Chain A
Amino acid sequence: MRIEVIAAQALSGLSVGMVLFLIAAGLSIIFGTLKVLNLAHGSIYMVGAFICYTFTSTFAHVIGVFWWTLILAPIATALVGGLIEIFLLRRIYAEEMLYQYILTFGLILVLGEMCKLIWGVGYHTVSVPWPVNGSVPILGISFPVYNLFLIGCGIAVFVGLLFFMHYTGLGSTIRAVTYNREMANALGINVPMVYTGVFMLGCWLAGLAGTLMPPMSVVALGADMEVIIGCFIIVVIGGLGSLPGAFIGAIILGLLTSFGIFIVPRLAVAFGFILMIIILVIRPWGLMGKPE
């Protein structure tokens, strides 16, 4: 393989991976702190994508509408998440895992159908915004700028989250609650509020991914299912609850898919699951998680 081809495949794989990283990071953080595997996370991502479409098409005449949407849509998604947490999730924290999963599964259905009700069954598109439309030559091959922008966003968010978690007061509070809920409660930290906050942060990330994805693809029903399985694979590989793990897992999955299509195209789909099984059996806490 020529070097340009490898570079192009690697960059393609990474740009796909970064969008998945954002969603998986949210999933991972939520599991790490709330100990709930939010099956409906892909649906929240899809809601974010539809909100992005609504903003960009309703305010299409506004200059730089996409950039405004980039700020507002994730916040809107986070608010939706907040409502879900306060009214639904709170009641089942103390319950068995089964009920948490069934509840979040029910949410998949409800959110999916609400999207169908509000936005219909067709496909919707969002155009690539200026100034990141167009392409640049990389080693002689023209590559879309937007994909590079996605990679940049992914890295920026990752660094930002790490900084937030480790160097800010709020971050320490979250880590404290994650580490030992009872102790944190005893020290006067308002744990329910932290839970809500973390869930909203996770949804904010999913909403951000939902806003970044449409310009390079389509907004349609079914986006939730496409994405959630990939996210499970990423968080298992990286380790449930670990942010750096999600980042590494996303890179691995992105590159695996991208290069896998060269080697064994037909079974590339199964690779992810096989890797997931291997990790779950040998080292369930993933590459960077902590053993329980």
Chain B
Amino acid sequence: MKKMGILVSMLLVMCMVAWGIGFVPEAAAAKKKPILIGHVHAMSGAMSMYGISCATGGEIAIAEINAAGGVLGRPLKQISRDSKLSPETGLRESKDLFLNKRVDFLTGTISSAVGQAISAYAKRAKKIFIINISQSSRTTEELGHRYLFRIDTNAVPYFGYGPALALAQKWADKKIISLGFDYEMGHNGLRVFKEKYLQLVPDAKIIDELWPPLGTTDFTPYISKIANSGADAFFLSCIYGGGELAFTKQAWAFGLYDKMHAVQPCAGDVETWGKVKKGEPYPKGALATCRYPFWSIEDPKSKAFVEEHYNRVGFLPSYGAMNQYFIIYALKEAIEKVGAVDTEKIVDTLETMVLDTFVGKVPIRTCDHQAIMPTWFGIMKFTPDLPFPHITEVEVLRGESPYHSCEQIRKLRKK
């Protein structure tokens, strides 16, 4: 009898401890409970500048909004978590944000795999998830659903249709050789590029496709193959970041940029090229697409944004920062229109909203919840006004033509 007694009390103690841990003190219900926005991104590791930049863009918007009285009298708060580029971690953090921290909305990710995992969970949990960087078009097309939005360009205009339209307009090269990282985004990028380019320039041909494994930083054998291929231009599919820097260095040593035209979509990324100085290897004369060429955007709000971002973190904003900024404002507008933080009603409002931003009017398309963000392109050069190489002769692609049409998406979803 005594034995049982002791046992039961030990069991009770363990239970109380567990209950104590699990019982998240609903923080002293402050006077005005904040509206919580979760943010899951790569906050550490090689891609962390994107994550930090996005979080900063969000914080800038939140500071502005809170200073003006918040949304429906309540302040906004952003909680950032690290996905470590792993879908498992990203999912775990998202669950923690929704279940423990009780965020009202979730934003984020750079990795498409993480984005898709979180999207699937958001669908099940019936919570809004808004993408701010992840580019895979599949997420909003085949796998799109009611609670998923993307306020960001996607792989179609950035890696595919954009460069295709740009190349057709500028040089209309006939023989192209492609090099891409061997993963789904890489293959998709080339496929989408071909889709549009072969339509615009019917007698063009992709004479060869090279696929180094994801993460390669030594492209020498591929570059010598490109140099000897006899192509008019080479096209890079989803080669960005450190890999892109290494590629350009090696291609420069082979004199590749003087030998043929270069179509290097990611060369427009300030995140990668921001630290390169004059005299160092860079994608000279390459045709590049860009998602936020702030040096060529005149709106003073944009300039103020760039400055504020730089003051906060010491580097220039990535397009993700701009996207997150727009996302916060979009949520503000939607919540105010609806009059409450009601997920279902906010979804209905968002999916027909037109955002008024410092890059113009950006409508959110109902069929796939994709914001029709503009894409810019130009030729990479050094100019006296900036210390790093950037696109010049900047042109902009607006409207739906650089994106898959709703009709195309309906077909993809049926498959």
Interface residues, chain A, CB within 8 Å of chain B?
2, 4-5, 8-9, 11-13, 15-16, 116, 121-123, 125, 127-128, 133, 135, 141-144, 146-147, 216-218, 220-223, 226, 257-258, 261-262, 265-266, 268-269
Contact = CB atoms under 8 A, between A and B. Distances in A.
Contacts of B272: 123
Given A135-B255, A221-B45, A122 B221 contact: no
B48 interface: yes
B49 interface: yes
Of the four ranges (under 10, 10 to 19, 20 to 34, 35 or more), the interface on chain B belongs to 35 or more
B280 A216 contact: no
Interface stretch (B10-18, B161-169, B222-230, B395-403): B222-230
A17 B189 CA distance: 30
Nearest to A255: B221
A143 B46 contact: no
A216 B254 CA distance: 11
Given A144-B253, A261-B225, 6 more contacts: A8-B227, A12-B221, A16-B220, A123-B245, A144-B254, A220-B46
A258 B217 CA distance: 14
Given A121-B44, A135-B253, A217 B224 contact: no
B104 interface: no
Interface string B248-274: 011001110000000000000000100
Contacts of B280: 125, 127
B75 interface: no
A133 B249 CA distance: 12
Interface majority SS on A: helix, strand, loop or mixed?
A: helix
Contact of B211 (A2, A12, A216, A265): A265
A2 B224 CA distance: 13
B215 to A, nearest CB: 6
B336 interface: no
B33 interface: no
Contacts of B245: 123, 125, 218
A5 B217 contact: no
A261 B229 CA distance: 14
Contacts of B210: 261, 265
A5 B226 CA distance: 10
Interface in B35-93: 44-46, 48-49
Given A9-B225, A125-B249, A141-B227, A223 B211 contact: no
